[in-house]
Chains A and B, each alone.
Chain A
Amino acid sequence: MNGVHDMGGMHGFGPVEPEPGEPVFHAEWERRAFALTLAMGATGEWTLDAARFAREDWPAGAYLSRTYYEMWLAGLERLLAERGLVSAAEVESGRPAEPARPLRRGAVDADAAARMLRSGGPTNRAAPRPARFAEGDRVRARTMNPPTHTRLPRYVRGRVGTVVLVHGCHVFPDVNAHGGGEDPQWLYTVRFDGRDLWGPDTDPTVAVSVDAFEPYLEPAA
């Protein structure tokens, strides 16, 4: 979706302001919101891609007014409500009103949580077909505007770059985020000359790459 989360190239946000000696979390609730999100994600009730869409799919004003973990919290509440696990009224009252639904994989205990962090959730998949592109190929990022989840940022759409790395096949977020299954696709790193993205006055020493799934790309003549 062309949401305000897709920020590459936007103006007006001001300078970057690093915080010296920044703590990992800035409040106790951030710790809990972080952990609740990971623990519920591990139950298998939704995919990580669906969770990302639940965080970005908001009106621009709401998205920009939230801190990072407020955004996680809003996403978690939405996923829980959509799946009938926790209603908005239950969050308001802090008390269960409906009986619990059985979870696909059940709740994770401390050992399972530690195992989950160690093993991660690799998205690499066997290739269902040969790669269409190879290192060195010139490719154009497609002009596309899906209202759904995508990882092709607006600032490269329609622009021509060069394949610099081929990464094998990975779960395709655009489909996986919306319950369509994993639909593995070839993944490439495509590098663009900064001038092809931002215009002829751009610093000629700048190159920008994105990691692009094969359906995002077409051969450049």
Chain B
Amino acid sequence: MAPPEHDHGHHHGGDDHEHGSELSETQRRVRALETVLTEKGYVDPAALDVLVETYETKVGPHNGARVVAKAWADPEYRARLFSDSGAAITALGFAGRQGENIIALENTPDVHNMVVCTLCSCYPWPVLGLPPVWYKSAPYRSRAVSDPRGVLRDFGVEIDPETEIRVWDSTAELRYLVVPMRPEGTEGWSEQDLAALVTRDSMIGTGLAARPQAVAS
């Protein structure tokens, strides 16, 4: 599954030289830019650390998984999530940048929702963190709207041919969180155990929730 350009790190920015003495041109450029911005007093290095740390260690798909697990376990919360998604998500403590207006989309046997940003990379940061490379890539952005079932097959996902596929192209400031269907065989599970079944891709709509036997619970 390695991207074709893997050898020269095209998709991933190439950190081949990161630990060597030779810096990549891009790495050198970013360092130079950071030095100039810092020396001019335009940026505070402590603020940069906070920004990186937040999305690398604190905010990520585990947040969205808590929302979904609660919606599965708590019918009252589920109703609230689909009538006022923003308030229900904020109630769990998730809010902020690139998630000012989040709408939860309910997957059912009749409707499968899938989210894309064909123009760039809009994504609900407070519940999913920063988007993966494939989400921002040309193959996904070009085909998600014209051949969603083909894209799902790239992920190894087959949806019943009768099920309506709704693709949401997030072209403005609305962000979408897919609530996948709860897997069978999870009756009576705690929210914590349920959350372990909620994959990132299932909340984008390019995957399904994990089956109980796939998770050591």
Contact = CB atoms under 8 A, between A and B. Distances in A.
Given A43-B42, A96-B39, A205-B162, A123 B119 contact: no
B133 interface: yes
Interface in A1-50: 5-11, 13-20, 22, 24-36, 38-40, 43
A16 B112 CA distance: 19
A91 B33 contact: yes
Contact of A108 (B47, B132, B134, B137): B47
Contact of A205 (B96, B119, B165): B165
Contact of B139 (A17, A56, A117, A167): A17
A120 B100 contact: yes
B166 A73 contact: no
A134 interface: no
A213 B172 contact: yes
A29 B31 CA distance: 8
A171 to B, nearest CB: 8
A148 to B, nearest CB: 14
Given A39-B51, A68-B133, A95-B36, A8 B31 contact: no
Given A29-B13, A121-B97, A211-B174, A107 B145 contact: no
Interface stretch (B65-73, B74-82, B149-157, B189-197): B149-157
A217 interface: no
Question: Chain B interface residue count: which class?
Answer: 35 or more
Contact of B37 (A14, A36, A121): A36
A36 B155 CA distance: 33
B101 A31 contact: no
Interface string B39-57: 1111110111111101110
A62 interface: no
Nearest to A153: B118
B141 A24 contact: no
A113 interface: yes
Interface in A121-161: 121-124, 151-153, 155
B167 A16 contact: no
A98 to B, nearest CB: 9
A122 B1 CA distance: 38
A158 B151 CA distance: 26
Interface stretch (B22-30, B180-188, B209-217): B22-30
Contacts of A220: none
B35 interface: yes
Contacts of A34: 51-52, 55, 130
Nearest to B151: A16
A119 B96 contact: yes
A26 B143 CA distance: 25
Contact of B141 (A7, A69, A197): A7
A18 B42 contact: no
A17 B3 contact: yes
**Which has the most chain B C-beta neighbours within 10 Å: A18, A30, A55, A118?**
A18
Interface in A160-183: 165, 167, 170-171, 173
Contacts of B33: 36, 73, 76-77, 86, 91, 94
23 contacts: A7-B141, A8-B142, A13-B139, A17-B137, A18-B201, A24-B56, A27-B12, A56-B120, A68-B133, A80-B37, A95-B39, A100-B42, A103-B42, A120-B96, A122-B101, A152-B171, A155-B118, A187-B173, A187-B174, A205-B162, A208-B167, A209-B166, A210-B169
Given A103-B42, A117-B97, A167-B174, 14 more contacts: A7-B142, A10-B138, A15-B139, A26-B13, A27-B27, A29-B24, A32-B52, A86-B42, A94-B35, A109-B46, A113-B51, A117-B54, A120-B99, A211-B169
